[in-house]
Chains A and B, each alone.
Chain A
């Protein structure tokens, strides 16, 4: 089974600890025998700046000089911060789309993990503790984040098959379950201009929500639509620049527990993931209802 953890901070003073809190939550999910782990962190926005997180299987070949080459291709100021197999490229906000389009053409081995004003995604094959250490996840600060431990069922165990999936700016989705109509929904979304990196069912769910948001729906409306258009088992946790949402299919086999205090909203596939959060003893703890959308926005 996959494991999901999520944390949406209400209290800004917890922001420096977001990565550490999420990493501890993620590691408790190791008993679900995961093959991969990943995390999406919404960092603090910086005026006029945006960021691309990219990945390469050969970072020593692909990352050196990438910032200069990207600046040459799209203009503006570009800086790079390498983290193991991933790198975060800091670009001018108004050049983000151009940078996203250009960066994969600069090196053969580059894959885009995420693009947006605040989102950064790191994911790899391996145990949660090792993946977290490689990317120094516990040092990261931010407003909200989602972590996932994968036990693959629908596509290969690869970096790109790990969650979170990001199919739109500052958007991400993680999934516990499996979808049975993902091939037909993928074909439909391709007709609407969406593009896909993998054969994975969860990427289809992420793109489905991105497509609905592109069409002008709110996050809540897009999540409602997953209940009518996606078939299969799912507990989804979704992130946007300002929002955090949870929805479970009507059968709700895939476990979920949530906790809310005046400091945060937290999600875990089981209570163990929440057990060490500050103030959990006094938190409102509940199991999200089936076929019910929950979301928080700031």
Chain B
């Protein structure tokens, strides 16, 4: 285990050490102490390493992540795992605005609540929120999965493309062109896997969720292109 004290060693030293871990490395376990809400902790990682941040983070923690597993043992500020490509990011506490925004792949797990605009413009990421999500979540979400064990705020899935949204609790309101859709066998299967990987299978069962998706009236959906989503 490599322990890095962010307060004494600084952000640039941290991120450059983590960026240097390309390809094979035996320094796979990292612990970052004294984050104190600092910005851009562990951004741009591209190695199969395990990073645990002991405390709460500021803007953009684990942004652009590839391959790595980053766990925040605290709460995360705005834009956690923004534009994640692959790997896993787990937030033990709450997440602020636009968690997982524009994410293209990988798994983001938020054990507390997520604030507004969770999964905005997501493009393939899977997000599992154990608590509630705020307003305008999954706005213009293009593909991927947003799973919410709690409730969703106003205007869920506004101007939605082809992302799938599963909510167990209430939805305050649906955004333009977002509708409830039937749960089919493949959705139960997908949810079962996401709940398991999202460390939520002990809390919720796939049958308890409702599915929301695009009515496909707001954008020019052509069925011939369905396979590219």
Contacts and interface: CB of A to CB of B under 8 A. Distances in A.
B94 A286 contact: yes
13 contacts: A31-B39, A250-B135, A253-B97, A255-B96, A257-B77, A270-B59, A270-B77, A272-B58, A273-B37, A274-B37, A275-B56, A276-B36, A290-B116
Contact of B96 (A275, A287, A289): A287
B78 interface: yes
Interface residues of A, number: 18
Nearest to A268: B37
Nearest to A275: B36
A287 B39 CA distance: 17
For the complex of A and B, list the 8 residue pairs with the smallest distance between their C-beta atoms, beginning with the closest: A271-B37, A272-B37, A275-B36, A275-B37, A287-B115, A271-B56, A272-B58, A270-B58
A197 B63 CA distance: 44
Interface in A233-259: 250, 252-253, 255, 257
B38 interface: yes
A27 to B, nearest CB: 13
B75 interface: yes
Contacts of A253: 97
Given A272-B38, A287-B96, 13 more contacts: A255-B77, A255-B97, A270-B37, A271-B36, A271-B37, A271-B57, A271-B75, A272-B36, A272-B37, A272-B58, A273-B37, A274-B37, A275-B36
A285 B59 CA distance: 16
Interface in B39-78: 39, 56-59, 75, 77-78
A31 B59 CA distance: 12
Contacts of A287: 94, 96, 115
A79 B56 CA distance: 47
B58 A271 contact: yes
Contacts of A289: 134
Contacts of A275: 36-37, 56
Contact of A252 (B57, B59, B75, B116): B116
Contacts of A285: 56, 75, 94
Interface of A: 31, 250, 252-253, 255, 257, 270-276, 285-287, 289-290
Contacts of B97: 252-253, 255
Contacts of B75: 271, 285
Given A271-B77, A272-B36, A274-B37, A290 B96 contact: no
Contacts of B39: 31
B168 to A, nearest CB: 20
A253 B115 CA distance: 11
Interface string B10-45: 000000000000000000000000001111000000
Nearest to A28: B37
A182 B97 CA distance: 27
Nearest to B57: A271
A65 B13 CA distance: 56
Contacts of A272: 36-38, 58
Contacts of A252: 97, 116, 134-135
B76 to A, nearest CB: 9
Given A275-B36, A276-B36, A255 B94 contact: no
B17 to A, nearest CB: 22
A275 B41 CA distance: 15
Which of A270, A273, A276, A287: most chain B CB closer than 10 A? A287
Nearest to A252: B116
A29 to B, nearest CB: 12
Contacts of B77: 255, 257, 270-271
Contacts of B96: 255, 257, 287
Contacts of A255: 77-78, 96-97
Contacts of A250: 135
Nearest to B76: A271
Contacts of A270: 37, 58-59, 77
Contacts of B116: 252, 290
A23 B106 CA distance: 41
A287 B96 CA distance: 7
Nearest to A255: B78
A31 B78 CA distance: 16
A252 B78 CA distance: 12
Interface string B99-117: 0000000000000000110
B188 to A, nearest CB: 33
Nearest to A256: B96
Contacts of A286: 94
